Structure 1
Amino acid sequence: MRLHVGCAMWTHAPWQGRLLPQPLPPRERLRAYATWCNAVEGNTTFYATPARNTVESWARQTDPDFRLLTKLPKSITHERCLTGADEELRSFLTAIEPLGQRAHALWVQLPGSFGPADLGTLAAFLRGLPRSHRYAVEVRHRAFFEDARAERMLERVLTDAGAEWVPFDTVALFQSPPTSDAERDAWAKKPRMPRRVRALTDRPIVRYLGRDDPARTVEGWQPWIGTVAGWLREGRSPTVFIHTPDNAEALTLARRFHDDVRAYLPGVDPLPEPLPAEPLTLF
């Protein structure tokens, strides 16, 4: 059994020289990260479609079973609201072709304004997507979490398209007032989302946001340990992304989450040994 875990990015200043080697050229940064985790969120593609040679570099730095959850550009999801974006979508799909199976799912993150009345638009958009990719949808409108009818309608749309619902669990963050600048910033910017643990496909995806205190982050993810282990027992192949407000310890915490699931379910394959932060010497 293989559990995929990762972070919101593969390069982060607090990791350099402490967890990852420094300096590293851009063409080596994802490779070093991939010795720590076997998945990563592709948030950068939200802001701009990457050059194809950049994506080719990502593919060269990772094994075929590495998972990259690639976010659709905001020009498609937020500016055009899933309509009239055929040209942007074609450009994006062409750019990410070199990833092959590493493009675990194309991530459709929708704005908080996208509510139950917009489900027809989502259904039409998903029907028009090529079947060569898997898709995962993240919604932030509270009606989908508080109105049972809206929840069922969204699940029906996603199930018909074979798409997964990506939960963003922010319960731990908002459980008590912030204690750092990064937490205060997250309180202002992150959505207050309830915990959702229902998987729609054989490849569930979880985004979990903890606290800057690692102990509180670990405490907050405890409900996920049994859920993820249960998915693995059912033959599903989950991917879990660990965030904290400052992400300073996200790399080590992602591996800790993997260790916690393995302690609960020893049949889970181990992660690779991380690349040393300091270069190896002969003496």
Structure 2
Amino acid sequence: MTADPDAIHYRAFAAAIDHLIENWSEQPSLEELAAVAGFSPFHFQRLFTRWAGISPKRFVQFLTLDHAKRLLAENHSVLDAALDVGLSGPSRLHDLFIACEAITPGEYKALGDGLTIRWGFHDTPLGRVLIGTTERGVCWLSFAEDGDEAGAWAEFTAEWPAARLVEDPHTTEPVVAQALGWAKAAEPTRLLLRGTNFQVKVWEALLRIPSGAIVSYEDVAKAIGQPTALRAVGRAVGRNPVCILIPCHRVIQKSGVIHNYRYGVPRKKALLAWEQARRLSSEGIAA
């Protein structure tokens, strides 16, 4: 079977981004990053700027603690309004609406019995992902960290052990493209969530955080009316079954420290930097 050229391209690009994030403090050169990806410096610079909206050098600026602290300060005044009205405003990554539906208590206990989930693995510039979709919405989206498809699959099947699973990458590929902003959604993207009432409440709050913004765990706890439930909020954020679409990566410590991401701190930094870069690019701010 001939290798998918897009998949090869994405894997090379993801490797370069991982290298950039892991070595950002050393300011890796354009030539070094291009070599990791296997591209010429000119080609890599052009591809990176087209994908992120800014140059690799500017991207590094979004990976610092100081930048995270500035974002927290800037977003503090607008967070309450964004959460109250449920809109992400002009800083959305792309024209994508998201609506979520929680399964009933009976369905929760049934563990997916009677539900058909179509699934597929896909390469993206941010890493390889596993997605599961149903007629009622996307029920799973996770990263296969370091190519660990077996681990990602085990998590997925543990969440939906009684469901009928059908491998169907042809159906799931466009959903991934919409999730990462490469394709516009023709209609609202729906999520099918399996969680406790508290978890679903937290996930709904996360959906209302503007793209390109970051908030603290305290902010989320206040938004759901339980300001002292920080540990419970943290656990619910960590149990998010639909990464990216439910943006748990936008929650960080109040100090500005980026930590505790299910798929690793480097991946969380990449997502935040990518969203901030795309937001500035969409607003016409020079790269």
Give the structure-2-normalised TM-score: 0.26
Give the structure-1-normalised TM-score: 0.26
Q: Which has the higher helix share?
A: 2
